[in-house]
Structure 1
Amino acid sequence: MRGFYLLCLLSATLLGCTVAEKVPLSRNVHSEEGALAADISDDGTLAIISGLNNGIKIWDLATNTERFNWAMQGDDPNVVGLVRLSFDKQYAVTADMESFALWSLQSGEPEGLWRIDEASIRDIAVSNNGRAVLVGRANGKVMFFEPRTGRRLEFLGHTEKVNSLDLSPNGRYALSGGNDYTVYLWDTQTGQVIHAFNHSSRVTKVALDPRGRYAFTADSRKGARIWNVQTGEEISELRYIERQKIFSDAVFSPDGQYLLTGSPTRRVSLWRVEDGTLLKEWEVKPKDGPAPQSAVVYAVGFMDNQRIISESSSGLAEVWSLED
């Protein structure tokens, strides 16, 4: 233990070594038995949770009240492992391995259910007003689909399984990464590649800044980078001590100065965009029960300049202070 603290002391300037905070400002149960997936709106006011035994719920985070409770598979057990909210908070998309559904956040009603037969679904995203849905698949194909017009475009740039993707709020630009070590930023109208970002191992997480400034890409080893989406140039590489770090969520702050990430090992981390420095970390509460005690941070979000929020596999929403 003494050696660890010495390492932190020696590395603090270069690597931003921090001790994670474990006491949140508030903690609320959003899924009693735990969660399969979650997403938080860009402004930190809305969350969607896929619960182990209680379907899919929409939560108002400002009042901690439940708005909707959905069942994508009717009375069958919930197996929805992917959920996303549109940037404008008008629509949500949910998916299991074989099908996806589009939901209105105004009426609370589904607007369609579609089945994918060719290959399992790996990730999803939805644009403003529910105009377009992006679906990444295990066969390396990414489908851009407009539910109201039926228009469909398949991006064939990847040669292996797609692991993560994102979509700009207006639906015009897509970001996708997979087992082929490559991330593509591409135009959903033409399918043409705008930028390609290369990694040294399989890509595990990608995220687009909804305001059109940055892209975040991370691989399964020690490559986590922030890029300028206009020029394709690297801005920074996240600096951390671990030989391997996996990210389960990533969002940029509205002012563009910070990146907030979640991990499968309970950690929520705040990074400075301009140089990749780790500024602060928090540790979410694991689900009560026998060891091992752990939790996946499914979603993170900025609530305002003083607070952030996380949703995890323990079924808990936890609000954390940004202040020291």
Structure 2
Amino acid sequence: MVNFFGSLTSKVLQSAIVAACLIFLSSCGLEKSTAVLTIEHASRGAFSAVISNNARYSLISSIEHGAMLWDNQSHGLLYQWRHSESSDELIHSLAIADDNSTAVTAADTTLAIWDIQTGKNLGYYQINEGTIRDVAISNKGKYLLYATSNNIVVHLNLENGRRIEFLGHQENINSIAMSPNGHFALTGGNDYSAYFWDTRSGQVIYRFNHPSRVTKVALDNQGRYAFTADSMKKASIWQLSSGEIVTQLQYMARQKIFSAVRFNDDATLLATGSPNRELVLWKVADGTRKQTWRVEPREGSRPKSAVVFDVAFQDEENALITESSSGLLEKFKRVDKS
């Protein structure tokens, strides 16, 4: 092996490097395009946002208007929710149930559950220790999952009040996800670990290790795959039936942060958003890029930047939609359905 590599000429090595660079650039740079539809949801920008799994609804938090639920079919504002008229707590964490039944909004120490069909509040909750870092809610609004700043994840049965605390993390928790039925959770934190665990027992099923702090996690809603990404350059897709790695996303950046992640319904594709305006469509099977776009910065913003808060597949239109810190919903067409 040493003799073989030693026989390679400088020219051959340079040609190989150039070819690799051209392949990378062609996959990343040439597929960028503009949105085919843009709708303003928050005139002065959004603080956080989520989209329902079927892309029907968007829930946006802003400083002026609390949390706003938009219908993405009629493009009409349905409800405007606040935790209290007198409260100055900023809503910073949001979630919509997979079946579009309920939503949860969270400020530092308060949580509120909402009925999406009627807009009515279904309950307020106050936490006594730490502050809330992320939230999730199950189908029919039966289970609530939230992470706190004291390294605890709480699973709460909203029907009978049963509460389980997951104490596996040793440092701050950055991201959580819950299965639609509420029976499983995926959590990632600064302790370089993501845990997939059973919310009925609190027992760890798998531990996914990373070389740096885990900043984003996501679950395929059919229970096939998990996604975990750290703060440097490892973003992995795991098989939940075995706990084995399926693939890693293929990119050359020395550091890449994900702010939004979504599997499509058949888990063949993965869409990600980043704090640098980037939206990328990946193949789950091999981790390669299919398309790349950039969301719009808010008009007049300096610098011209935007965080992609969430992304969802609009399969009937072969499109992706995003919500970003610009306060804009944007629609991007995919080049094919595969």
In the superposition, the TM-score normalised over structure 2's length comes to: 0.91
Query: 228, 231, 246: which is aligned to 1:217?
Result: 228
Query: 181, 185, 188: which is aligned to 2:199?
Result: 188
Query: 189, 194, 198: which is aligned to 1:178?
Result: 189
Q: Deviations over 1:271-307 (max 9, x none)?
A: 1101110111110111112421101100100011511
CA distance in 2 between counterparts of 1:194 and 1:253 reads: 24
What letter matches 1:11 in structure 2? Answer: C
Q: What is residue 316 of structure 1 aligned with on the other side?
A: 328
- Shift of the alpha carbon at 1:22? 4.1
Q: Identify if the C-alpha distance between structure 1 residues 283 and 14 changes in structure 2 by more than 3 Å, giving closer, same or farther.
A: closer
Correspondences of 1:1-324 after superposition (within 5 Å): 10-11=20-21, 13=23, 16-19=27-30, 21-77=32-88, 79-304=90-315, 306-323=318-335
In the superposition, the TM-score normalised over structure 1's length comes to: 0.94
CA distance in 1 between counterparts of 2:129 and 2:267 reads: 38
What letter matches 2:58 in structure 1? Answer: A
- Shift of the alpha carbon at 1:11? 3.4
- Shift of the alpha carbon at 1:59? 0.9
- Shift of the alpha carbon at 1:100? 1.0
Q: Provide the secondary structure at the position in 1 that maps to 2:20.
A: helix
Alignment check: 8 A CA contact 1:183 1:198 kept: yes
What letter matches 2:329 in structure 1? Answer: A
Q: Identify if the C-alpha distance between structure 1 residues 18 and 117 changes in structure 2 by more than 3 Å, giving closer, same or farther.
A: same
CA distance in 2 between counterparts of 1:12 and 1:128 reads: 46
- Shift of the alpha carbon at 1:77? 4.3
What letter matches 1:28 in structure 2? Answer: I
- Shift of the alpha carbon at 1:18? 3.3
Q: Deviations over 1:180-226 (max 9, x none)?
A: 11111000110111111000011000001011110000000111000
What letter matches 2:21 in structure 1? Answer: S
Alignment check: 8 A CA contact 1:53 1:78 kept: no
Alignment check: 8 A CA contact 2:28 2:292 kept: no
Alignment check: 8 A CA contact 1:44 1:61 kept: yes
Q: Identify if the C-alpha distance between structure 1 residues 309 and 290 changes in structure 2 by more than 3 Å, giving closer, same or farther.
A: closer
Q: Provide the secondary structure at the position in 1 that maps to 2:211.
A: coil
Query: What is the percent sequence identity of the aligned residues?
Result: 43
What letter matches 2:20 in structure 1? Answer: L
Q: What is residue 3 of structure 1 aligned with on the other side?
A: none
- Shift of the alpha carbon at 1:228? 0.4
Q: Identify if the C-alpha distance between structure 1 residues 228 and 14 changes in structure 2 by more than 3 Å, giving closer, same or farther.
A: farther
Q: Identify if the C-alpha distance between structure 1 residues 40 and 236 changes in structure 2 by more than 3 Å, giving closer, same or farther.
A: same
Alignment check: 8 A CA contact 1:11 1:17 kept: no
CA distance in 1 between counterparts of 2:322 and 2:18 reads: 25
What letter matches 2:333 in structure 1? Answer: S
CA distance in 2 between counterparts of 1:302 and 1:314 reads: 20
Q: Identify if the C-alpha distance between structure 1 residues 224 and 35 changes in structure 2 by more than 3 Å, giving closer, same or farther.
A: same
CA distance in 2 between counterparts of 1:219 and 1:252 reads: 18
CA distance in 1 between counterparts of 2:33 and 2:64 reads: 27
| Deviating 4+ runs (over 4 angstroms) | 6-9, 12-15
Q: Provide the secondary structure at the position in 2 that maps to 1:35.
A: coil
Q: Deviations over 1:27-54 (max 9, x none)?
A: 0001111101111111111111112212
CA distance in 1 between counterparts of 2:272 and 2:17 reads: 23
Alignment check: 8 A CA contact 1:54 1:78 kept: no
What letter matches 2:327 in structure 1? Answer: G
Aligned CA-pair RMSD: 1.7
Q: Identify if the C-alpha distance between structure 1 residues 26 and 149 changes in structure 2 by more than 3 Å, giving closer, same or farther.
A: same
CA distance in 2 between counterparts of 1:8 and 1:39 reads: 40
- Shift of the alpha carbon at 1:8? 8.6
Q: Identify if the C-alpha distance between structure 1 residues 304 and 127 changes in structure 2 by more than 3 Å, giving closer, same or farther.
A: same
What letter matches 2:321 in structure 1? Answer: I
Q: Identify if the C-alpha distance between structure 1 residues 150 and 323 changes in structure 2 by more than 3 Å, giving closer, same or farther.
A: same
What letter matches 1:239 in structure 2? Answer: Q
